[in-house]
Amino acid sequence: MLTRKKVQTTILLAIGIVLLLNIIASKFFFRLDYTADQRYTLSKATKDRIIADHKCNISMGKEVKILDVKLSDKNGKIKNTFEVEEPLTIQISLQAYRNINNVEITCCIYREDGVRIHGTNNVRFNIPFSFKKGENSLVELRYHKLMLLQGTYYINIGLTKDSLSPHRYDEINRACYFTVNSNIIHGIGTTITGIMFALLAWLFYFKKFYSLTKFINGKNDCVAGAICTDHDFINTLSNINSGTLMLLGPVLDSLRASSILKNLHTLHIRMKQHSKNAMYLAVELEKMGISVFYPGLSSHPQHKLMTEIMNEEFGYGGMLAIDIEPPDKAKLFMEAMQNNDVGYLAVSLGYFKTLFSHPGRSTSSELPKEFQHEIGLKEGLIRMSIGLDNDIQRTLNQIKKCLKIINFDPVNI
């Protein structure tokens, strides 16, 4: 008969044997493979490869691991729905498997459809991050104002040695989603491109504001605009007691409104000709060695983007810019073009005749010189609104004549 003491001894002995077997198993491991082709036995080459991969994982990917990513408000409350301009904090929980210094933590915000909206890292703000082996850390990235439009977004988090190094410790794509709500009215204005070009406006904005003074009217004989949106918003604007339009009075008289409506019926025809002429001049002027800025040219930095969002039927628009240096020659060139019937020196655009202006000395002259240089507004830049010329070759010949008058000598003129 087993006594209580013998039972306890037997249990302790069994536990000791299990612990001993675990210790031995951790040091020595072998597999008994009785299959004819030894299918469950690793070759030496395979073992070496596994060991090498294991060492690589330790050295290249597992020094620091992202454990969790959460979002919180200014009070530390965890949530995934925010208001426009509300503070947002991204909380990143990390664990280090060895001592590491100068880790670069990158955070990127993407729109739900994959378009990148914002990206930043601690290096930009000269904030170093170091981690000790075995420690769990919490890194917080704070946005004092969430300047995003209403919609759904997601966040990617990455840990690297530095932004130029392929040494990536860890990353989580779509680490968390969040929604931005807004009571602010958002809209887009299309003064220069006109109503027919940017499909972007229709994709992302339901409230659109148009200048009727320019391309839509096409005659520069009015100062007017239009708001295109839903009936509820229009009714709010025109409310007899509180509507902005009723209180401030920006309402067109019937004669001017009917004139614009009449010209609107030819807009589609005019825009095709504006674009056709602008493309022709842009290509020919660039061949001559002149610096030309036109989204229809492959040399334009946003040519690919414009091609993706444009309405192909109406081309790349009737606006282009050329750089004539020094600025004094730009002024003489515009005067020569006006004297030789190329068009008119005027700050407007969208007219049936070609219009040209010198933004640095007219519409943008109030901007500080430093800011003009920062945004790329050169002193010799000439903005041109290309007209409806039927013989655009004649227009090009007149432009060449004007270049010779001011002794501007681009290549192959």
Residues sharing a CB contact under 8 Å with residue 128, sequence separation 6 or more, in sequence order: 101, 102, 122
For residue 194, give the H/E element and its range: none
Distance of CA 167 to the CA centre of its chain: 26
The answer to whether residues 353 and 323 touch, using CB atoms and an 8 Å cutoff, is no
- Give, for all 413 residues of the chain, the pLDDT tens digit: 557 777 777 888 888 887 777 776 655 555 555 565 555 566 666 656 555 544 544 444 468 889 999 999 989 999 999 988 889 999 999 998 888 888 888 899 999 988 888 888 887 777 888 888 888 889 998 888 887 888 899 999 988 876 555 667 888 999 999 999 876 555 555 554 444 444 444 444 456 677 888 888 888 788 888 877 777 778 877 777 777 777 776 778 888 888 888 988 998 999 999 999 999 999 999 999 999 999 999 999 889 888 888 888 899 999 999 998 888 888 899 999 999 999 998 878 888 899 998 887 777 777 777 777 777 788 888 999 999 999 999 999 999 999 999 988 765 44
- Summarize the chain as % helix, strand, coil (round to 5): 35, 25, 40
Residues sharing a CB contact under 8 Å with residue 371, sequence separation 6 or more, in sequence order: none
Query: What's the rounded Cα separation, in Å, for the pair 209 and 349?
Result: 17
Walk me through the domains of the chain, giving residue ranges and CATH numbers.
64-181 (2.70.50.60), 188-264 (3.40.640.10), 267-405 (3.90.1150.10)
What is this structure's pTM?
0.53
